[in-house]
């Protein structure tokens, strides 16, 4: 798979085992920028002890507003082998994490799958969360069946003009919706333990962007028309103009209360009441973790 890399829809076809890099510039070994307890995911994931977030470097999108641009676009991180990655998972479990939260793992699906298997053979018990931009290849996701318990994809846009201009992927919606249907096929309807923590299922995130309510309308309509109402939806208000978006109207401003309230109205009118909404106060840089190598063995 890595000798002719087609892990994502870019289908670069490069030989990563020979040191070649494609669109995402990811190396052969997984590159990790931070592994720590994270308390700012949805409540059913963070709980009171935190989600065990493992932040991977590199990305197959070029979002001009990415809050994690230091790792997605600037590629900060350290390469680790599969045994080390498995050890990171086990370490987070020992620290009390409710789950292992794989943040942007797409460029490393085979290595991540191997690390999950190795960690589970060594005793890993907590659920595994696959936290992704949803710009995924269905055939690659198939390798995660039985290994991932919870899928946490974005559904960013419906309109190709926006997806192309803001993320460099005009085919985003067609690709992401197929990927999300595959994720749902694998994990089904949500399940929770006695403490309200999700143990299995799908949570779809949609970040409301300033000036982009047309995208929100079409995204929410697609969810309502193609998935059961019991699928969890997280309608996010935490947009901050950052990275290259500070030069790109209308993304160079914050979301207004009126815009977000309109998005919530669309949500409720469609009967999508199972999930989460946010306060505009969620748009704060304090919720962006410091990518400082915490929890990753070795010297940066």
List residues forming the annotated binding site for [4Fe-4S] cluster: 59, 63, 66
* SS3 state of residue 102: strand
Q: Are 266 and 216 in contact (CB under 8 A)?
A: yes
Between strands 191-192 and 198-207, the pairing is: antiparallel
Burial status of residue 123 (CB atoms within 10 A of its CB: 0-12, 13-18, 19 or more): exposed
Q: Compute the half-sphere exposure of residue 148: CA atoms within 13 Å on the CB side of its CA.
A: 32
Q: What's the angle, vertex CA 63, arms to CA 188 and CA 60, rounded to 5?
A: 60
Q: Where is the binding site, in residues?
A: 59, 63, 66
Q: Compute the half-sphere exposure of residue 287: CA atoms within 13 Å on the CB side of its CA.
A: 14
SS (H, E, C) 120-140: HHCCCCCCEEEEECCCCCHHH
Residue keyed to tokens 């109402």: 229
Q: Where are the alpha helices (DSSP H) in the chain?
A: 43-46, 69-72, 82-94, 109-121, 138-141, 160-167, 172-187, 213-226, 257-269
Burial status of residue 279 (CB atoms within 10 A of its CB: 0-12, 13-18, 19 or more): exposed
With both helix axes pointing from N to C terminus, report the angle between 213-226 and 172-187 in degrees, rounded to the nearest 10.
Answer: 40
Q: Which of 120, 158, 151, 121 is nearest to 136 (CA)?
A: 151
How many C-beta neighbours within 10 Å does residue 64 have?
20
> In whole angstroms, what separates CA 34 from the centre of its chain?
15
């Amino acid at each position: 798979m890595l000798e002719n890399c087609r892990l994502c829809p870019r289908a670069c076809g490069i030989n990563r085992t020979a040191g070649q890099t494609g669109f995402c510039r990811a190396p052969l070994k997984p590159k990790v920028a931070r592994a720590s307890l994270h308390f700012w995911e949805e409540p059913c994931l963070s709980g009171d002890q935190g989600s065990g977030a493992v932040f991977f470097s590199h990305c197959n999108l070029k979002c001009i507003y990415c809050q994690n641009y230091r790792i997605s676009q600037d590629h900060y991180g350290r390469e680790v082998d599969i045994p080390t990655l498995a050890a990171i998972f086990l370490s987070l479990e020992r620290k009390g994490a409710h789950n292992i939260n794989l943040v942007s793992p797409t460029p490393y699906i085979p290595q991540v799958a191997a690390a999950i298997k190795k960690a589970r053979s060594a005793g890993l018990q907590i659920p595994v969360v696959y936290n992704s931009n949803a710009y995924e290849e269905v055939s690659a996701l198939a390798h995660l069946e039985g290994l991932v318990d919870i899928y946490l994809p974005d559904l960013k846009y419906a309109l190709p003009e926006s997806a192309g201009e803001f993320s460099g992927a005009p085919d985003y919606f067609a690709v992401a919706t197929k990927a999300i249907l595959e994720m749902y096929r694998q994990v089904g309807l949500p399940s929770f333990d006695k403490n309200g923590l999700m143990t299995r299922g799908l949570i779809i995130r949609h970040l409301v962007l300033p000036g982009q309510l047309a995208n929100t309308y079409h995204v929410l309509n697609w969810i309502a028309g193609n998935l059961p109402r019991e699928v969890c939806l997280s309608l996010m208000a935490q947009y901050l103009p950052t990275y290259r978006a500070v030069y790109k109207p209308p993304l160079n401003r914050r979301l207004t209360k009126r815009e977000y309230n309109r998005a919530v109205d669309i949500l409720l009118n469609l009967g999508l009441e199972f999930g989460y909404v946010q306060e505009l106060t969620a748009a704060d840089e304090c919720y962006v973790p410091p990518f400082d190598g915490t929890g990753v063995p070795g010297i940066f």
